[in-house]
Amino acid sequence: MSLAITPEPKDRMNKRIPVPFSTQLPEIIRNNYGKWIDRKFHGNGIIEHISETGDRIFTIKVGLPPNSRLSVDTLEKFVDIADKYGLGVVRATRGMNLEFITDSLDKALKIKEEVEKLGFPVGGWGRSLWHITSCTAYLTCTTAVVDAPSITQVLYNYLKPYFTGEIELPAKLMIFVAGCPNICGGTLAGDIVIVGHYGQAPKPDPERIKFCLPASAEALKKVTPDVAAVCPVGAIKLFGKPDGSVGIEVDERKCIACSRCKNVCDYFDWDPNKIGVAIFAGGKTSNTGTGPRLPYKVVPWLPVNPPEYREVVAAVRKIIDVWRSEAKPGERLGDYIDRIGIDEFMSKLGVPRTRHNRCEEASWNFGVRQFITYM
C-alpha cells in the first residue's frame, strides 16, 4: 500500500483541507460512485456489491480486538493482505471492525482465509452480532470507572458464534461497552449497552477538594463553580463557612452517580466495592421498523469481577436468549420489547423492579418514514 509522504513542514501547509474523499477511493469505486444497485451475501462476512455498469466489488468484514488495539506488526500483515489480494485499501468502521475490499469472490475468500489464520474472525453482517464497541477506559481516560476493553473481550469470547454466523440471531445486534457514564464507547442508543458507574454518591476529599473550590465564599455570589454546575440533578451544594472559605456537600438522595463532577475535579472518593455496571437494552439508531430509539435501563447495577465478569456475561446472555427464543425474523431487540411490553420483558429476564429501573412504556414511533407523513 503506497502512502504519499510530505517531508517538508512548509509543504504540508499547501495541502487542500479537507481533502476531497473521492481522491482516496479505489478507481473501481470512484467510477461506480452512485451506481451500486444490488448486493449479495457470501457467508456471514462477505458482501458482493453490484453496479449498474456490471462491475462488482467484495467487502470482507474482520472483527478486531477491543477498542481496535492492534500492534504495528499486525497492521503490516493486514496491509500485505490488502495489497496481495485486495484493492490496496482497508477501512476501519465505527463498530471497530476492519473491512477489506477486493474485486472477485475468489480473492475475498482468500482474504478471509488469511485473516482467520492470523486469529481474526470474519462476520458481522445480516442477522448477527455486528460488533461490540468499547471505549479506551484506563488506557487513556481519566474518568474510567471500569475496564471496558477487558469486559468487551470476555463478551466476545462467549458471543463470537453470533458474529461469525454459526448461530443466527433474529436481526442485527450491536453491543456497546462504556467505561463510565460519559459513554464514549459509542452510543446509548444500542441494542445492549453496558455502562460503568460508581454505584453510590461521591465523597469529597476533605483536604484536596479545596483545589476545585473558590478561595473565598464571596465568589459564590457571582458564579457557580464548575464542580457544582456540572451536576445534572443539583446534588452538589456549595456554601460559605464562618471563616470565609467554601464548603461542599453531596446530597446522596439526589445523586445519580453519573461522575460528571469527577470530569472537572479529581478529588472525590468512591467506595471501590460499590463500583459496577448498568445494562440498557432495546435502543437503536436505525430508521428501519419504528425508527431510532433509546434503550430501557433493565439492570441498574451489577458487580464487576475481573477477569471473567461472570455476572455481566450472564446478564447479556440472558437478554440475548430471551430475544432469540421469541423474536420474529428481522425483529430488533427494541421492537421485540415494544411488542411484548417492557413489563413482560423484565419478567422474562427475572430482574426485580426497583425505583432504579422502573422503566416507563414509551412510544418511539418517529422514524424517517413516519416523519415524512407529516411533511
CATH assignment of the domain containing 231:
3.30.70
In a domain, 37, yes or no: yes
In a domain, 6, yes or no: no
Q: Please give the residue range of the domain that contains residue 106.
A: 18-117
Q: Are residues 134 and 185 in the same domain?
A: yes
Q: Are residues 26 and 109 in the same domain?
A: yes
- Residue 374 clears pLDDT 50, i.e. is over it: no
Residue of 86, 94, 27, 88 lying closest to 59 (CA atoms): 86
Q: Which of 44-48, 174-178, 251-255, 354-358 has the lowest mean pLDDT?
A: 354-358
Burial classification of residue 215, based on how many CB atoms lie within 10 Å of its CB (0-12 exposed, 13-18 middle, 19 or more buried): exposed
Q: Are residues 143 and 292 in the same domain?
A: yes
Q: Are residues 300 and 365 in the same domain?
A: yes
**pLDDT bucket at 375, cuts 50 / 70 / 90:** very low
Domain boundary at 94, 117, 140, which? Answer: 117
Q: Which of 36-50, 136-150, 255-269, 338-352 has the lowest mean pLDDT?
A: 255-269
Q: Which of 236-240, 318-322, 356-360 has the lowest mean pLDDT?
A: 356-360
Domain boundary at 63, 90, 117, which? Answer: 117
**CATH code of the domain in which 358 resides:** 3.30.413.10
Residue of 147, 146, 99, 143 lying closest to 123 (CA atoms): 99
- Residue 292 clears pLDDT 70, i.e. is over it: yes
Q: Are residues 57 and 159 in the same domain?
A: no
In a domain, 230, yes or no: yes
The DSSP output letter for 47 is: E
Q: Are residues 139 and 211 in the same domain?
A: no
Beta strands 268-269 and 203-204: pairing type?
Answer: antiparallel
Domain boundary at 61, 91, 117, which? Answer: 117
Cell, residue 187: 452510543
- Residue 41 clears pLDDT 90, i.e. is over it: yes
pTM of the full predicted structure? Answer: 0.84
In a domain, 241, yes or no: yes
In a domain, 63, yes or no: yes
Specify the number of domains making up the chain. Answer: 3
